[in-house]
Structure formats: structure tokens, C-alpha cells
Amino acid sequence: MNIGVEIQKKKYNVLSGGEKNRVMLAKILLEGPDTLLLDEPTNHLDIETSEWLEGYLKEYEGSALIIFHDRYFLDQVVDKIYEINNGKIDTYFGNYFYYLKERELRYEQALRHYNAQQRKVKQMEKAATRMRDWASRADNEAMFVRAKAMERRIERMYLVDQPTKDKINFRIAFDGEGRSGKEVIRAKNYQLKILDQVLVDKVDFTLMYGERAALIGNNGTGKSTLIKDILRAYEETVEGLTVNPSAKIGYLEQDISFESNEMTILEAFKSYIPGLDGEIRSYLARFEFRGEDVFMPVSNLSGGEKVRLRVAILMKQDINCLVLDGPTNHIDIKTRKVLEKAIETFEGTILYVSHDRYFLNQFSDRIMAIHNQRLTSYFGNYEYYKEKKESIESEVVESKEIKSQVSEELGKERKKKINPYKVEIFEKKIEDLEKSIDEKQSFVKENPSAYLKIKATLDEIKVLEIELESTLEEYYGYHELFESNNG
């Protein structure tokens, strides 16, 4: 795992949550333990470090017990899952995907067993009632005895509880109705920086109405800074950033706070959404704030409970654009499902920062990746992004191999006369590549709503840029050799 030179120079107490996690992980792994106890190890970690940890644990020869809500990670790494449910522990011998299927099968089997037992009990109760009725009519003591025996059998039976499963079975939808304009957020020559440190020199993108875009990148690349600048642009002028005046933004911050920690849940909700106590309490019960819970101070809430309360508030606000910063950090799977159910119903625009790959796959049709001080858009979910990124990286490797071969050939040809027409061929190829790139970039700018075509065109541009870079390297090599031999 790469800790990074910059992190090594800092004092531990000034590190971010993700940087502290990386340092502690490195310390533990360097000690070479034969058993690992990990409590939410990927919290605050960027995707690159999470994937590194995945690979390490797959090869790890010892045992590992992990508390986890990261479903993608669970699917990739674990081979046994313990679930604490209703005061007991259930064991599943497989990964998260297996757990989901097996849990559903066990639920259906338990439900069949419960229903069959309930039918049997009702039949026995009816039989005992009939026997008592017959015994009364015929004054038959033997029939009374049989009825009592039947009732004792029912009392001695071990009755199974009705099985339950986590299910959001209430109607849940955002109240906002008005839509924003076509272009919701636009960055044009925007400079992403923290104080005087420039993170990305030129950022250009347009987020269209209805898009679900995820912003990803390593810790420290400026994701949250970009989100904060967009929120500032919503209120004031920010150079290079424009937010459509018709946009109504709802924001779910990474570290949720309320006006006062002494406020109750009910008071915190009413500070955003005024209303009658009875109606609000009925609404909050949908988010599992029931009865006297609503009089609990918000300072007593866990991270997941704060997210549930904030989501409940957001869903009652008139918004058409959701901005989320680390929405699944510190929350359990059940709360994630509440959040996901809410997002499924949202018809507006969504821009969010996340390292949760399961969430990225479910709720993104565009990945905006910050890497090597550039922001690049990939029009698909996380699996699509991974596939395209790996494809581009393999092309870069192949390009470097070609360059190496060209350099080797040039070394052998140093004393030979260079054909001047070869330089002209290179120049023509470079001209054609640059023209093709310009044409495709013009198409993207002129057709902002043609999402599928833009997606394919951007991929073509990336391949052409790699080919252009390779051609330029070859051209400069041959041109230098031509000049030295004919100077």
C-alpha cells in the first residue's frame, strides 16, 4: 500500500480520516499478524486503497474478522458472513451475493414452516372446540378428556416466531415537483484549488438535467472542494462555475450537523419543515423515529440515524438537484437501503462524491474521475469506468512498448541516411489525428443532449489522443535524427 511521501511528512494528528486509516492499516499489516480484526477498514479510504486492501486480504493466509457495511467489498473478499439479527447470530458460508440469495431462501423456508404450523394449530384448536361442544351436548366425559389432551398438546408445542426481513414497505418519494433548466451545472476553464495549491488547472464539464453523476478520485484530489465550490456558485459568483438559476439544490453533507445539538429530532425537523406535530411524528415514524424517539436530542444520534433524519428532511423540501458528499459513510446496510429507496424515486439531477462501489454501480450513469490532475468523464457506472480505464491503461502500455521499439530501431539507424519523406508522412498523420480530435470535440460541444453518442465519441477521442501522443514521440525522434544527419 502506497502511503505517499506527503503523508509521511505530516504529523499524525493533522491527517484526514482517510490518511489516518491508511497509516494504521500499514502499521498493522507490517506487524505480520496471523489474525486480523478490522472495524469498517474502508471508511474514508479512496477506491484505489480499498482495492489494494481487497487484493491483500484475498492473498492473506491468516484469518480475518471484519465488521463491514461495504457490500462490494464483502462480495469480493469474505467467504463467511455472521449476521446479528433479533438477538441471535445467523451464519452464511459464502460472500455477500450468496448471503442475499441464501437469506431469501431461508426466509421463504421459515415462512412456509410458520404458515404450516399456524394452520396445524388452528386445525387442532378447532378440533378441541368441536370435542368440547360434542362432550357438552352428549354429557360425554371421555370427549372432555380428549379435548383437554388436545389443548395441552397445543400448549406444549414449540411455536416458531413469524419470520421478518428488512423491507422498506412504505411509500417513499421526494415532494419536489419543479424541474430545473436543461444545463444544471457547468464548469468552463474552472480551476480547482485549495488556497494557493492548484489541484486541477482546467475543469470543463456540463451536468444535464436528470443525470446521475459520481465524482471519484484518491483522497486529497479535491472532490469535496469541487462540491463546496458548486454550492458557493449556487449562492454567489465563482469563476468558471455556473449553476442554473432554476436549480433547487438539496445537500447531504459528509459530517451532518444541525443548528443546535440540544435540539430534539422533532425540533430539528421543524426547523427545516414547519408543520403540525402529529403529522410530522407520523412521517418520521417511516424513518424509524417512533414514539418518544422524536424527543431525543440530535447529539445522541448515531451517524446512520443522522443520515436518516437528514434524508427525511430532504424528501420534504422542494428540490430538483441532489448534491451528496459521502452519503453512505458510517451507515449500516439497512440505512443505506432507505437512502437508496429515496434516491430511486428522485427524478432530478444527482451529483455525489462516493467511494462505495456498490452505490456507484447502482446510482451513476456518469463517472467523473479526478486522476493525475485531470477530470475525465466516463458515461456509465463504476464497472463501465473500470473496464474503460483498464482498456486505456493497456493501450498506454502498448504505446510505450511501441515507443521503446522505435527508439531501439532509431539507435540502429543512427548512421544511416534518413528518408525526408518519412518526416512528411508523420506530419500528415499528426495533422489528420488532430483534425479528427477537433471534429469529435466539436460534435460533443454541439450535441450536449445526445448522451449515448457523446459517450462513444469521448471514448474515441481518448484512443485518438493516445495514438497522437505515440505518433508525436516517433515524429520528434525521426525529425531529430534527420536534422543531425543532414545538418
- For the chain, the domains span 5-86, 98-156, 183-378, 384-486
C-alpha span between 371 and 288 (Å, rounded): 40
DSSP 299: G
* H-state helical runs in 329-381: 333-345, 357-362
Residue 356's pLDDT is 87
Q: What is the mean pLDDT of residues 254-258?
A: 85
pLDDT level of residue 313 (50, 70, 90 thresholds): very high
Residue 214's pLDDT is 94
- Indicate if the pLDDT at residue 23 is higher than 90: no
Of residues 454 and 80, more confidence is placed in 80
Residue 155's pLDDT is 87
- Amino acid 108 reads E
Any idea of the CA torsion for 444, 447, 451, 452, to the nearest 10 degrees?
-80
- Indicate if the pLDDT at residue 232 is higher than 80: yes
- Indicate if the pLDDT at residue 131 is higher than 50: yes
- Indicate if the pLDDT at residue 11 is higher than 80: no
Residue 416's pLDDT is 45
Residue 332's pLDDT is 80
Describe the chain by its helix, strand, coil percentages, rounded to 5. 55, 15, 30
Are 5-86 and 183-378 equal in CATH topology?
yes
Query: In terms of residues, how long is the chain?
Result: 487
Percent of the chain with pLDDT over 90: 26
Residue that has been written with the C-alpha cell 441471535 in this structure: 88
Query: CATH assignment of 5-86, given 3.30.70.330, 2.40.10.220, 3.40.1080.10, 3.40.50.300?
Result: 3.40.50.300
Please give the CATH superfamily to which domain 183-378 belongs.
P-loop containing nucleotide triphosphate hydrolases (3.40.50.300)
Q: What is the mean pLDDT of residues 99-124?
A: 91
Residue 414's pLDDT is 44
Return the top range by mean pLDDT from 169-173, 268-272, 371-375. Answer: 268-272
In tens, the pLDDT along 39-79 reads: 888 877 788 888 888 888 888 889 999 987 888 888 889 99
Q: Compute how many other C-beta atoms are within 10 angstroms of the C-beta atom of residue 171.
A: 7
Residue 289 near residue 268 (C-beta atoms within 8 A) = no
Of residues 427 and 99, more confidence is placed in 99
Residue 424's pLDDT is 67
Torsion over CA: 273, 274, 279, 280 (sign): positive
Residue 415's pLDDT is 41
In tens, the pLDDT along 172-181 reads: 667 766 778 8
Residue 427's pLDDT is 76
pLDDT level of residue 239 (50, 70, 90 thresholds): very high
Q: What is the mean pLDDT of residues 388-404?
A: 63
In tens, the pLDDT along 347-387 reads: 889 999 988 888 999 889 899 999 888 899 888 899 888 88
- Indicate if the pLDDT at residue 169 is higher than 60: no
Of residues 473 and 77, more confidence is placed in 77
| Cα 167 to chain centroid, rounded | 21
Residue 71's pLDDT is 87
- Indicate if the pLDDT at residue 309 is higher than 60: yes
Q: What is the mean pLDDT of residues 256-285?
A: 91
The average confidence (pLDDT) of the chain is 82
- Indicate if the pLDDT at residue 145 is higher than 60: yes
Of residues 401 and 191, more confidence is placed in 191
DSSP 31: T
Residue 148 near residue 119 (C-beta atoms within 8 A) = no
Residue 184's pLDDT is 92
Residue 321's pLDDT is 93
Residue that has been written with the C-alpha cell 518519412 in this structure: 422
Segment (H or E) for 216: strand 212-217
